[in-house]
Amino acid sequence: MDEPASPFKGKTGVRRLFNAAGFSWAGLRAALRHEDAFRQEALLFVLLLPLALYLGDTGMERALLIAPLFGVLIVELLNAALEALADRVSLEHHPLIKRAKDMGSAAVLLALANVLAVWGLVLFG
């Protein structure tokens, strides 16, 4: 049996790409407007990106320095989305919601640790 079609699906081709790009920009704007941690990490990205381009001696080193910076932003966006969904489901304290939020926070922490590890190895290893 076919599943009912979602009213949000159905766009294809170039129209779908334009819609997807618009949704992505809306998500970035929402994160910048509503998420303090994302703003702080975006500032860190803006400060460290030129430094990565300057300090990396080769294209590979520059890529290694830049990739984990993007990783932090990506993980923070996913964490913020998870927290928003959890808050939408329930604002009451529940052990599973706490676990989900704590795991999202741990993912961000690991992404930040990855920045330190990669930068340390590339620059001092």
Which of the residue ranges 13-17, 37-41, 77-81, 121-125 would you say has the lowest mean pLDDT?
13-17
**Domain residue limits, the chain:** 36-124
Report residue 14 as tokens. 């170039």
What Cα–Cα distance (Å) separates residue 54 from each residue in 29, 45, 57, 59, 76? 28, 14, 8, 11, 26
Q: Tell me which fold the domain 36-124 belongs to.
A: Helix Hairpins (1.10.287)
pLDDT digits (tens, 9 = 90+) for 38-81: 999 999 999 999 999 999 999 999 999 999 999 999 999 999 99
Whether residue 75 contacts residue 114, with contact meaning beta carbons closer than 8 Å, is answered with no
Report the length, in residues, of the chain: 125
What Cα–Cα distance (Å) separates residue 29 from each residue in 10, 24, 25, 32, 40? 25, 9, 6, 5, 14
Residue 91: DSSP 8-state:
-
Catalytic residues: 76
pLDDT at 44: 98
pLDDT at 2: 64
pTM of the model as a whole: 0.88
